[in-house]
Amino acid sequence: MVVSESSVRDETDPPPIGVFDSGVGGLTVVRAIVDLLPREPILYLGDNGRFPYGPRPVEEIRGFALEIAEHLVARGVKMLVVACNSIEVAAIADLADAHGVPVVGVIEPGTRAAARATRNRRVGLIGTEATVRSGAYERTMDGLAPDVDLISRACPAFVDHVERGDTSSDELLGRAREYLEPLREAGVDTLILGCTHYPMLSGLIQLVMGEDVVLVSSAEETAKDVYAALVSSNLLGRGHGAPRHEFLTTGDPDVFRRISHHFLGPELGGVRSTAIGVVEVAT
Ligand code: DGL
């Protein structure tokens, strides 16, 4: 186990915002939260040991999500940010009921931004199989902007490339052309990146979709919801110094550190491996 002592939180540290995903994808949401709320400490958990979630049955994803949430709450988080669409479609209601902390997701913020951005009222959605199968974006869009047509497509191979740190290979570009062609043909003018791994591929996706198509990443909108939820729950951090972020992975910490550093840069503090359910106490 790799432990970076400088990153280990102790009881006197202010309570962090808990952010979680099946892997490194949720770091796109962390990036946006850190930009908007630079004083808030983050405790991130990537369940890389059980990645990917997208092809799994909803019941299994729900079980993983509840375990992780319990783990983060036991570590003292003041809020849970579900930085994974596949987890949100499987478990958001249970997560909101299970613990006494506010829970913020990514689907409504992304849908809201897309409804605002579209001019021709034809919006594309790409995500994992679990997300697309759930119909959650269609239901959310129906509630927010019933005149918008939503055309969905699962892009299962994208996340494996991102977890390997590949955002630009020829193989990936070929996949993107194959996945995105039906959405281009459908004439969407806005595309929701309905998986938190996908903003890391936005250069490639924009290239394939063409420069007139607006890409919507839920990360920035979600960060605004996090801010609003902190204010309304009176949980905004009062610290003045640089906060201490901590990153946990159920996978290999060296791999997580290498890939995450690439995406998150200097904000990445120490990375520690963790077993879900085992809360290590800092000494
Ligand atoms: N980042 C996750 C999401 O937003 C999915 C990745 C996976 O398949 O595990 O859906």
- Whether the pLDDT of residue 281 is over 60: the answer is no
Q: How far is CA 94 from the centre of its chain?
A: 18
Q: Are 92 and 69 in contact (CB under 8 A)?
A: no
Q: Please tell me if the CB atom of residue 28 comes closer than 6 angstroms to any atom of ligand 1.
A: no
Instruction: Dump the DSSP string for 178-198.
Output: HHHHHHHHTT-SEEEE-STTG
Per the structure block, which two tokens stand in for 51? 């990645």
Element spanning 226, H or E: helix 218-232
Higher-pLDDT residue of 88 and 265 is 88
Q: Are 73 and 101 in contact (CB under 8 A)?
A: yes
What mean pLDDT do residues 81-88 have? 97
195 is catalytic: yes
From ligand 1's centre to the CA of 69, what distance in Å?
A: 16
From ligand 1's centre to the CA of 122, what distance in Å?
A: 24
Residue 32: CB atoms within 10 A of its CB come to: 21
| pLDDT, the chain, mean | 90
Task: Check the CA dihedral 67-73-77-80 and report its sign.
Answer: positive
- Sheet (strand 79-82) strand order: 103-104, 79-82, 17-21, 42-46, 246-249, 271-273
Q: Please tell me if the CB atom of residue 175 comes closer than 6 angstroms to any atom of ligand 1.
A: no
Q: Please tell me if the CB atom of residue 134 comes closer than 6 angstroms to any atom of ligand 1.
A: no
Cis peptide leading into 109, omega within 30 of 0? no
What mean pLDDT do residues 33-44 have? 94
- Active-site residue (options: 69, 154, 155, 195): 195
How far apart CA 56 and CA 49 sit, in angstroms, is: 14
Nearest to 54 by CA among 80, 88, 81: 88
Q: Please tell me if the CB atom of residue 131 comes closer than 6 angstroms to any atom of ligand 1.
A: yes
pLDDT tens digits, residue range 62-73?
999 999 999 999
Per the structure block, which two tokens stand in for 24? 């490194």
- Whether the pLDDT of residue 282 is over 90: the answer is no
How far apart CA 256 and CA 253 sit, in angstroms, is: 5
Look at residue 4 in the predicted model and tell me its pLDDT. 31
- Sheet (strand 214-217) strand order: 149-154, 122-127, 190-193, 214-217
What mean pLDDT do residues 29-46 have? 94
What mean pLDDT do residues 168-181 have? 98
Q: How far is CA 279 from the centre of its chain?
A: 23
How far apart CA 145 and CA 81 sit, in angstroms, is: 25
Per the structure block, which two tokens stand in for 52? 């990917």
Interhelix angle for 85-98 vs 136-144, to 10°?
70
What mean pLDDT do residues 7-24 have? 82
Higher-pLDDT residue of 273 and 125 is 125
Look at residue 276 in the predicted model and tell me its pLDDT. 58
Q: Could you list the beta-strand ranges (E) of the chain.
A: 17-21, 42-46, 79-82, 103-104, 122-127, 149-154, 190-193, 214-217, 246-249, 271-273
Q: Please tell me if the CB atom of residue 195 comes closer than 6 angstroms to any atom of ligand 1.
A: yes
How far apart CA 40 and CA 199 sit, in angstroms, is: 23
pLDDT tens digits, residue range 108-160?
999 999 999 999 999 999 999 999 999 999 999 999 999 999 999 999 999 99
Look at residue 98 in the predicted model and tell me its pLDDT. 80
Look at residue 244 in the predicted model and tell me its pLDDT. 86
- Whether the pLDDT of residue 61 is over 70: the answer is yes
Domains of the chain in start order, with CATH, are 2-106+221-282 (3.40.50.1860), 107-217 (3.40.50.1860)
- Local structure of 217: helix, strand or coil: strand
Element spanning 82, H or E: strand 79-82
- Active-site residue (options: 45, 65, 81, 84): 84
155 is catalytic: no
22 CA: nearest ligand 1 atom:
9
